[in-house]
Amino acid sequence: MNMRVLTAVLALAVLISAVAVVHTRHRHRSLFVTLQALEQERDALDVRWGQLQLEESTWGSHNRIERVARKRLGLVAPRPEDMVVIRDE
Amino acid sequence: MSEPAGQFSRLRLGTVVALFGLAALVLAGRAFQLQVLQQDRLKREGDARAVRVVPLAAHRGRILDRHGQPLAISTPVDSVWANPAELMGARHRWPELARALGLKPAALARRVTARRGREFVYLRRQVTPAVARRVRALGLPGVGLLREYRRYYPAGEVAAHVLGFTDVDDRGQEGLELALEEILRARPGRKRVVRDRKGHVIKDVELIQAPRPGRDVILAMDRRLQYLAYRELKRAVLRHRARGGSAVILDARTGEVLAMANQPGFNPNDRSQIRPGRYRNRAVTDVFEPGSAIKPFTVAAALERRVVSPRTVIDTAPGLLRVGRNTVRDVRNYGAIDVATIIRKSSNVGAARIALATPPEAFWRVLDRAGFGQVTAVGFPGEAAGRLAHYRHWRGFERAALAFGYGTSVTALQLAQAYTVFANGGRLVPASLLRLESPPATRQVVSRRTAQRVLAMLEGVVSREGTAAKAAVPGYRVAGKTGTVKKAGAGGYAEDAYLAVFVGIAPVSDPRLVMVVTVDDPRGEAYYGGEVAAPVFRRVMQGALRLLEVPPDGVLPRSRLLARVEGGA
């Protein structure tokens, strides 16, 4: 009697464990697919970030800023005659 | 009827059971053979077909300026590789591949067939994202992309000499890229994966080694000042048809190298045009005789030993002085002048007389403590130490010649560092290419009083009566010293090859910047330090002092604008 109950319990446990294995496997697969997608996304973002950094420093290069400021915007550096120093002593 | 039937059926049943039993036994036996006896070998074979170790790329550390602006960045790119054994099977598609890669079909064919026995060959390294996409779209067997990193230098030629560059495998080759290799270097990781027949990764088995990206390095350099210094140096070198030049700006208080520019330059992003010699960081690797730029030290040593005072009058007539078999000459006869005027007019005779009156040991000690003849602490690859002979080996004329800067040699960086003595109350601040978090240890070279007296004399140099009137920065008090050095070559001094030097300190009331400008072999009309190098100092300082928001301490020209503050309560 005892034996039979034990067997039943064990059989049930085996069944549950078997289903759990299948379930875990499945989760592993789907999570792995997600992981790979995320890694690819990270790589793509990394590439993009590098390109943006370069782009930013190209646009922001002093060479270009100076050219735009002088040629296109017609700006000039203030001459000493144009400056007034306000001292607060 | 039932009897034979029953007998027959029992026989049949027996046979079937036996056959099934036998089959089961065979299956079990086979299973045992595969699962137990041959398990090791089969697993190995299976893994060999599916399990691969793949590299995990890690990027090299960035080099940033003191405000975090990038000076060197590694960005991911793809390299195209192939397994020749597999690619040999798809010969008919080679022309397509060659087109996508931008290679000649013949060159591609040579490359692949030459390595047909191997499993790996690079077809083209570090291609643009567009090329990588085209290659991937072809879907050829045995062709793959490998993630690598390529180094970019956003500042281009402006900071090229200091930064140096890396090779195609992202290892430092020159400059700071080489000096800081240990910090910048990335350690790629490796992981074991299971791949399916088409090469897709279907499972991560284990991480053998985690990738470790390189650490970022923050330099002392200020990109804005670097650009200014480079632009003005380049302009001067072109204008005076010079062979080259250097400019170094130090923070007078911390010794941080805010800018270090050289000419001729090169573009670090396109190394196909690099010629050896162009990428030398002259400010650190090339030595020159400092000439008159050494005179402040000559005077400082004499002041320190109370051999002279700033008002001591020394007779320099008739503009030449015989020392042993040699003669020291001045540009013209200045007559009897005081020490401050010797500095202001840059009299060689006066300087020689002062040096000959100073104990050699005292003179040598000042130069030695100011770092002459010693490599600086910046740790730049190929840095030159310069030369300073020990005073026990000095002969008569050597002592006199040293007084106006011949017989010793320095780098531009050493000279800038030495001048921090006058900018800092007699204390030498060691130069640093990296941004400092705390003030460095300094060393007293001469007394505060001596340093201030010399600084006052140097202010006289940048006056209408001095040799460096063109170094004056409107609104600021500036001190400095010019040098015009005959270049030593094989077989003595050249007659018409000079090096123009200017060393400046600004602002005088509370020195913030020390700058050295050298222009090598100006072949135009002008060749004096005050004509060629001093204007570079003025133009750079004008911008630099404004950028650093240093309040003007001098007199501004009468302004046309009038600011009025309406009186409050």
Q: Each residue of B134-151: pLDDT tens digit?
A: 888 887 777 888 878 888
Average pLDDT in chain B: 88
- Number of domains chain A contains: 1
Choose, out of A29, A39, A46, A48, the residue to mutate when testing the contact with B (most B CBs < 10 Å).
A46
**B324-342 burial code (b ≥16 CB/10 A, e <16):** eeeebebeeebeebbbbbb
Q: How confident is the model at residue B74 (pLDDT cuts 50, 70, 90)?
A: confident
Q: How confident is the model at residue B557 (pLDDT cuts 50, 70, 90)?
A: low
Check whether B490 has a pLDDT greater than 80. Answer: no
A47–B76 CB contact, under 8 Å: yes
Q: Is residue A86 part of a domain?
A: no
Question: By the CB < 8 Å criterion, does B559 face chain A?
Answer: yes
Q: Is residue A83 part of a domain?
A: no
The pTM of the whole model exceeds 0.80: yes
Determine the Cα–Cα distance for residues B524 and B532; give it in Å rounded to an integer.
10
If you average pLDDT over residues B107-131, what whole number do you get? 80
Label the pairing between strands B217-218 and B63-64.
parallel
- Please give, one letter per residue, the 3-state secondary structure of B497-544: EEEEEEEEEECCCCCCEEEEEEEECCCCCCCCHHHHCHHHHHHHHHHH
Whole-number pLDDT of residue B558: 62
B156–A61 CB contact, under 8 Å: yes
**Percent of chain A with pLDDT strictly greater than 70:** 96
Within 13 Å of residue B422, how many CA atoms lie on the same side as its CB? Answer: 34
What distance in Å separates residue A1's CA from the closest CA in chain B? 33
Check whether A50 has a pLDDT greater than 90. Answer: no
Q: How many degrees, rounded to 5, is the angle at CA B377 between CA B375 and CA B382?
A: 55
Whole-number pLDDT of residue B7: 65
| Cα–Cα separations (whole angstroms), residue B223 to B82, B203, B395, B547 | 42, 46, 46, 11
Q: Is residue A87 part of a domain?
A: no
- DSSP code of residue B550: P
Question: By the CB < 8 Å criterion, does B441 face chain A?
Answer: no
Whole-number pLDDT of residue A88: 66
Residue in the structure block whose two tokens are 């496997």: A25
Report the SS3 class of residue B480: strand
Question: By the CB < 8 Å criterion, does A5 face chain B?
Answer: no
Q: Mind telling me the catalytic residues of B?
A: 292
Domain that holds residue A39: 2-74
Q: Mind listing the domains of chain B with CATH numbers?
A: 54-218 (3.90.1310.10), 223-547 (3.40.710.10)
Residues 49-78 of A with CB under 8 A from B: 50-51, 53-54, 57-58, 61-63, 77
Choose, out of B79, B152, B476, the residue to mutate when testing the contact with A (most A CBs < 10 Å).
B152
**Dihedrals phi, psi of A69, to nearest 5 degrees:** -60, -45
Report the SS3 class of residue A51: helix
Q: Is residue A42 part of a domain?
A: yes
Q: Is residue A88 part of a domain?
A: no
ipTM of the complex: 0.70
Q: How confident is the model at residue B239 (pLDDT cuts 50, 70, 90)?
A: very high
**Percent of chain B with pLDDT strictly greater than 70:** 95
Choose, out of A41, A49, A57, the residue to mutate when testing the contact with B (most B CBs < 10 Å).
A57
Check whether A85 has a pLDDT greater than 80. Answer: no
Tokens, residue A32:
């792995």
Which of B76, B556, B562 is nearest residue A50 as measured by Cβ atoms? Answer: B76
Whole-number pLDDT of residue B568: 45
Residue B245 burial (CB count, 10 A) = 28
What distance in Å separates residue A16's CA from the closest CA in chain B? 25
Determine the Cα–Cα distance for residues B349 and B543; give it in Å rounded to an integer.
37
What distance in Å separates residue A26's CA from the closest CA in chain B? 12
Contacts of B224 in chain A (CB under 8 A): 62
Whole-number pLDDT of residue B472: 92
- Are the C-beta atoms of residues A53 and A45 closer than 8 Å to each other? no
Q: Each residue of B358-394: pLDDT tens digit?
A: 999 999 999 999 999 999 988 899 999 999 999 988 8
Check whether B119 has a pLDDT greater than 80. Answer: no
Tokens, residue B336:
């009897």
Whole-number pLDDT of residue B563: 52
Q: Each residue of B152-195: pLDDT tens digit?
A: 898 888 999 999 998 888 888 889 999 999 999 988 888 888 87
Determine the Cα–Cα distance for residues B202 and B418; give it in Å rounded to an integer.
63
Check whether B1 has a pLDDT greater than 50. Answer: no
**Dihedrals phi, psi of B434, to nearest 5 degrees:** -100, 150
Q: How confident is the model at residue A51 (pLDDT cuts 50, 70, 90)?
A: confident
